[in-house]
Amino acid sequence: MKTENLTKQSLAKYFDHTFLKAYATNADLEKLCTEAKTIGAAMVAINTEWTKFCKEQLQGTDVHVGAAIGFPLGQCGLDTKLFECKWAIEQGADEIDYVINISKAKMHDWDFIRHEMEEFKKICTEGQVLLKVIFENCYLTKDEIRQLALIAKEVKPDFIKTSTGFGTGGATVEDVKIMVEAVEGEVQVKAAGGIRDWKTCKEMIEAGATRIGTSSSLNILKEFEGE
């Protein structure tokens, strides 16, 4: 994707404006939603607890509420994650970002990974919400990233996503390219984790990412305008 024709408004539509800290307060999330409305972000990315609150804050806008499921470890068991997904949708979530069972990926239990993804896809399709699958690439080999992306190509969630931002590393251009190439246009790719400036954001978009997860949306837009 070329970035020469981006405007401030079209760039903002890439952003999942994020606040996922454990110490979030009403004031923090109200500020997040106000910022997202002001810049015209695609979504606010929040922990599930805040779904209803943010939905109310964003009523009457086209900014989506995105709930993070099984976050950030993905290790709470499939039934628990699916219950959280359903509850988030009932609370008003427009998008779901769930963390895969990373242990299963490391053990190459691809049947489980596929089943997990299919179960989330079923719930999100019924709920008419977007689904993003978080790989947490910092713990995976390049072959494992590619295999996960190939499974996603078949199951067809809306997005696959590089990272939670809470692991030992975030998005890399190399990983985004691997994911984009593997899905061959069947699934979109979200880059997240460590994207704090326009230079890094630009590299991710040019590598093929169509969503950017960041808590630095305002700084990126400011740098973009000053370029």
Active-site annotation, residues: 97, 161, 190
The C-alpha angle 163, 166, 192, rounded to 5 degrees, equals 30
Residue 174 CB partners (closer than 8 Å, separation 6+): 142
Residue 197 to residue 222: CA distance in whole angstroms? 9
- Of 163, 179, 218, the C-alpha closest to 32 is 218
Contact 129, 94 (CB under 8 A): yes
Residue 3 belongs to what H/E stretch? none
Residue 94 to residue 89: CA distance in whole angstroms? 7
Dihedral sign for Cα atoms in the order 157, 159, 161, 166: negative
Pairing mode of beta strands 15-19, 159-161: unpaired
